[in-house]
């Protein structure tokens, strides 16, 4: 029996973390809703399991997504995760093949060199030793990058790195000690016995030349075991909990479970899967342009995990969704933030217990729901039957040129339409939702829904991406909801409107709620290509910027908004285009205040290019006099 | 047409000793830009809600500052938080947050003895 007291810390740590992970997963599974449990069971016996294994290999071990965006940071994560995995895998094989017995306890693989110091002199053994040394060298290079990153984050191409708590700091120190102590322990043993390959062998013989290698080795084996044990014990209360949790998250996601709008097992698993890698911090415009460095998604996840008050963090965000797109773990960050914002969030909240080693569900603090409606002043209106509804939205009423352009385009199309909120209507409800006031938002949603139902329309066109998103996601409507860019594209495709080609160079800015929020990327660009020379900017599609005007943020003031807007405009107008085009009245308003370049909504550009047919115009309800038409421009 | 009568009208003076300016203090603390308001009424002019009913953010701002909270408590719930007022404000007051904070202050009943 090969045994030495120094393996005890490692054994305790390993057994603890294995049992803990299983218990935690069972608890999470039990908290799942019934449909989600079924999804998970179906996923286990279906394709989802195989997909998950593939994703775990590519993302949890190789870190492909980080490698794609940032090579150095990706290498750091890959060398540590994949390297450690290989070290364990090949270590186990080594102990199995070359050890005295097959099927060893894990510690014999980890401390193989201690128990078999004579191993690795000749032939295959030496080759295998070379492989193990090589893997260790790769890990150590990654570790070197990690240590440098902690003190000088620009070395891995990052502007900011995450801040730490004491428990995180101890765990991080333990993690940093693991591999250097392994290197020294193996080197001293190798030096004493004259074994070891290019790394441990060379270092060992050099150290042995002036130090008593035999005596020096033993303390370092203790240190190696202790740092492993400490790391495992502290893992559940630190961000390193993401290592076991992420595997479960990938499987849950592949089984088809989504965050939804309440705190639940899945959002808990997501929160614990965050590795605080800091990709969200680097992409956040509040950080880059406005210098707000404590509210990014990594900090939100940390605050939820640690049971801190996440209120201010949750509300101080533009909800542009840029972090959702770069998160290498694929956490649905914006939905989690929305959950935190909701007033009635408490009805299923998790709180830390047992010094943070467990999380327990706490009972509801039911909100007192007021019986009276705050919006009882909304007028009862019966609308006439039409085919197409045009809903301008609040923001469009602030930018009348967009409204007028849309009226002109709709008139030219000859469609039977009404302008639903021509005299100003109720808000769509999304601003209230973003402020966490869902009950109030629901009242407005019901009011608008009734208006839309009564009209019997088949198509609802809106000019505002904020309205567009909420119409699609939170209204239960029997109409086709179109953003005006999609609507205009349909008109062009079907030849309903004829457009001139404007000799203007245009750069298109994708609004957050339209692009990342609703997945409408191509229609606005195709419309713009049809009427102008569309140029590419450095921030296309998923990488598009936020204008800074977002209604999602209640906390920042006009000064910070201007900083973000200026920064975004300078990025977008690098090629000095004639027009900075957008498809959102709020973006237009925000940009127009900070730039000399002409900022125009897509509908304005189309309206300029419009050839008004004389026949159709007479069909439409409103006949513009020549003077009125001139006044639109 | 009002009935012509010899009623005793309610006093119209602002009694700073009787009024509770806790709500105003709460808003000042969390949203300092509230102090910048010059009561120009731009917010009320563009307001979505004011388009449909009697609601004036300008008036509510003044009442909150005076501490005459009774009239504010109910009215402030009419706001739809659409954010047009913040966009037109010439002083850069984060009016949306002012409304949000006022609602919050009224919800925390008792704390400010409202």
User: Looking only at Cα atoms, what is the longest distance across chain B?
Assistant: 47
Q: Taking residues A415-442, what's their average pLDDT?
A: 90
Residue A59 predicted with pLDDT over 70: yes
B27: which chain A residues are within 8 Å (Cβ-Cβ)?
A: none
Among B51, B82, B96, the residue with its CB nearest the CB of A554 is: B96
Residue B103 predicted with pLDDT over 80: yes
B45 reaches A (C-beta below 8 A): no
Cβ distance of B100 and A554 shorter than 8 Å: yes
pLDDT, position A347: 52
Residues near A624 by Cβ (< 8 Å), separated by ≥ 6?
A408, A411, A617
**Residue A44 DSSP symbol:** H
pLDDT, position A622: 46
Instruction: Tell me whether residue B45 is in a domain.
Output: yes
| Contact by Cβ (8 Å): B82, B32 | no
Q: Which range is least confidently modeled, A26-35, A116-125, A162-171?
A: A162-171
| Contact by Cβ (8 Å): B21, B27 | no
Instruction: Tell me whether residue B3 is in a domain.
Output: no
Residue A424 predicted with pLDDT over 90: no
From CA A53, how far away is CA A321, in angstroms rounded? 27
User: Can you give the residue range of the structural domain that contains B48?
Assistant: 22-107
Q: Taking residues A35-51, what's their average pLDDT?
A: 91
From CA A359, how far away is CA B56, in angstroms rounded? 46
Instruction: Tell me whether residue B114 is in a domain.
Output: no
Among the listed residues A486, A427, A494, A498, the one whose alpha carbon sits nearest the alpha carbon of residue A461: A486
Q: Taking residues A66-71, what's their average pLDDT?
A: 88
| Contact by Cβ (8 Å): A74, A63 | yes
Q: Taking residues A461-489, what's their average pLDDT?
A: 94
From CA A79, how far away is CA A61, in angstroms rounded? 9
pLDDT, position A391: 94
Interface of A with B (CB under 8 A): 374-375, 377-379, 394-395, 397-398, 423-427, 429, 431-432, 435, 437, 440, 444, 549, 551, 554-559, 586, 589
B51: which chain A residues are within 8 Å (Cβ-Cβ)?
A: 423-424
Helix (H, G, I), strand (E, B) or coil at B3: coil
> What is the token pair recorded at A176?
């940093």
Residue A415 predicted with pLDDT over 80: yes
Instruction: Tell me whether residue B93 is in a domain.
Output: yes
Residue A326 predicted with pLDDT over 80: yes
Binned at pLDDT 50, 70 and 90, residue A162 comes out as low
Mutate to test the interface with A, among B83, B89, B91, B101 (most CBs of A within 10 A): B83
- Please report which residue ranges of A262-387 form alpha helices under DSSP H: 265-273, 279-283, 285-288, 297-305, 311-315, 322-326, 333-341
B77 reaches A (C-beta below 8 A): yes
From CA B114, how far away is CA B107, in angstroms rounded? 10
Chain B: nearest CA to A343, how far in angstroms?
11
Helix (H, G, I), strand (E, B) or coil at A354: coil
pLDDT, position A348: 62
**String of b and e for A561-582 (b: at least 16 CB within 10 Å)?**
bbbbbbbbbeebbeeebbbbbb
pLDDT, position A116: 86
Among B49, B53, B80, the residue with its CB nearest the CB of A431 is: B80
Number of separate domains in chain B: 1
| Contact by Cβ (8 Å): A585, A315 | no
Find the closest chain A residue to B74 by CA distance.
Answer: A374
Q: Taking residues A67-85, what's their average pLDDT?
A: 91
Instruction: Tell me whether residue B72 is in a domain.
Output: yes
Instruction: Tell me whether residue B83 is in a domain.
Output: yes
CATH number of domain containing B68: 1.10.1060.10
| Contact by Cβ (8 Å): A110, A87 | no
pLDDT, position A615: 53
pTM of the predicted model as reported, rounded to 2 decimal places: 0.88
Instruction: Tell me whether residue B91 is in a domain.
Output: yes
Instruction: Tell me whether residue B103 is in a domain.
Output: yes
Structural domains in chain A, sorted by start: 61-236 (no CATH), 258-361 (1.10.1060.10), 498-611 (3.40.50)
pLDDT, position A365: 56
Binned at pLDDT 50, 70 and 90, residue A287 comes out as very high
ipTM of the complex: 0.88
How many beta-carbon pairs below 8 A join chains A and B?
A: 74
Residue A455 predicted with pLDDT over 60: yes
């Amino acid at each position: 029996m090969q045994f030495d007291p120094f393996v005890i810390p490692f054994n305790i740590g390993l057994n603890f973390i294995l049992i803990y992970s299983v218990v935690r997963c069972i608890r999470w599974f039990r908290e799942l809703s019934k449909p989600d449990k079924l999804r998970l069971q179906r996923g286990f016996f279906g394709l989802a399991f195989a997909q998950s294994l593939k994703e775990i290999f590519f993302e949890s071990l190789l870190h492909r997504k980080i490698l794609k965006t940032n090579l150095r940071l990706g290498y750091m994560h890959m060398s540590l995760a994949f390297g450690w995995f290989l070290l364990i895998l090949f270590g186990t094989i080594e102990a199995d093949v070359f050890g005295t017995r097959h099927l060893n306890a894990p510690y014999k693989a980890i401390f193989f060199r201690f128990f078999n110091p004579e191993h690795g002199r000749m032939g295959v053994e030496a080759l295998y030793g070379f492989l193990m040394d090589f893997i260790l060298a790769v890990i150590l290079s990654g570790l070197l990058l990690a240590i440098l990153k902690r003190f000088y984050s620009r070395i891995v191409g990052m502007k900011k790195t995450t801040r730490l708590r004491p428990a995180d700091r101890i765990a991080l120190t333990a993690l940093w000690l693991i591999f250097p102590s392994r290197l020294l322990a193996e080197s001293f043993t190798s030096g004493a016995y004259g074994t070891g390959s290019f790394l441990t062998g060379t270092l060992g013989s050099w150290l042995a030349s002036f130090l008593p290698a035999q005596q020096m080795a033993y303390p370092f084996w203790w240190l190696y075991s202790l740092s492993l044990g400490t790391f495992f014990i502290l893992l559940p209360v630190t961000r390193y909990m993401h290592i076991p949790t992420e595997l479960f998250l990938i499987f849950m996601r592949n089984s088809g479970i989504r965050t939804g709008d309440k705190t639940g097992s899945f959002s808990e698993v997501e929160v614990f899967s965050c590795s605080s890698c800091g990709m969200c911090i680097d992409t956040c415009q509040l950080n880059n342009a406005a210098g707000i460095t404590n509210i990014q998604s990594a900090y939100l996840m940390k605050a939820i995990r640690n049971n801190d008050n996440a209120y201010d963090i949750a509300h101080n965000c533009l909800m542009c969704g840029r972090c959702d797109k770069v998160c290498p773990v694929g956490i649905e960050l914006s939905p989690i933030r929305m959950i935190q914002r909701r007033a009635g969030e408490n009805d299923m909240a998790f709180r830390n217990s047992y010094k943070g080693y467990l999380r327990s569900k706490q009972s509801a603090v039911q909100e007192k729901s007021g019986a009276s409606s705050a919006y009882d002043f909304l007028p009862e209106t019966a609308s006439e039957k039409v085919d197409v509804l045009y809903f301008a939205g609040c923001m469009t009423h602030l930018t009348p040129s967009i409204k007028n352009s849309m009226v002109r385009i709709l008139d030219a199309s000859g469609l039977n339409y009404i302008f639903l909120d021509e005299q100003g209507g109720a808000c769509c409800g999304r601003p209230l939702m973003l402020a966490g006031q869902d009950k109030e938002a629901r009242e407005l949603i019901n009011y608008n829904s009734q208006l839309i139902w009564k009209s019997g329309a088949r198509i609802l066109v809106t000019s505002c991406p904020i309205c567009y998103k909420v119409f699609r996601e939170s209204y239960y409507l029997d109409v086709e909801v179109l953003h005006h860019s999609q609507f205009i594209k349909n008109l062009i495709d079907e030849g309903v409107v004829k457009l001139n080609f404007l000799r203007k160079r245009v750069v298109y800015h994708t609004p957050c709620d339209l692009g990342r929020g609703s997945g409408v990327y191509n229609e606005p660009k195709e419309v713009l290509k049809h009427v102008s020379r569309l140029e590419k900017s450095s921030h296309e599609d998923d990488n598009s910027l936020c204008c800074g005007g977002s209604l999602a943020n209640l906390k920042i003031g006009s000064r910070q908004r201007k900083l973000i807007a200026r920064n975004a405009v300078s990025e977008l107008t690098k090629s000095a285009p004639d027009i900075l085009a957008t498809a959102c009245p709020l973006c237009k308003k925000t940009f127009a205040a900070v730039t000399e370049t002409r900022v125009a909504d897509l509908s304005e550009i189309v309206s300029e290019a419009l050839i008004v047919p004389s026949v159709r115009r007479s069909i439409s309800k409103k006949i513009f006099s020549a003077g009125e038409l001139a006044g639109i421009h | 047409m009002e009935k012509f009568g010899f009623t005793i009208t309610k006093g119209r003076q602002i009694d700073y000793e009787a009024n509770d300016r806790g709500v105003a203090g709460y808003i000042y603390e969390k949203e300092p830009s509230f102090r910048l308001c010059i009561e120009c009424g731009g917010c009320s002019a563009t307001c979505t809600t004011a388009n449909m009913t009697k609601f004036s953010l300008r008036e509510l701002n003044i009442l909150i500052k005076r501490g005459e909270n009774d009239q504010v408590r109910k009215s402030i719930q009419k706001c739809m938080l659409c954010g047009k007022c913040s966009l037109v404000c010439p002083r850069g007051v984060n009016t949306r947050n002012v409304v949000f904070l006022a609602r919050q202050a009224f919800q925390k009943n008792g704390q400010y003895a409202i």
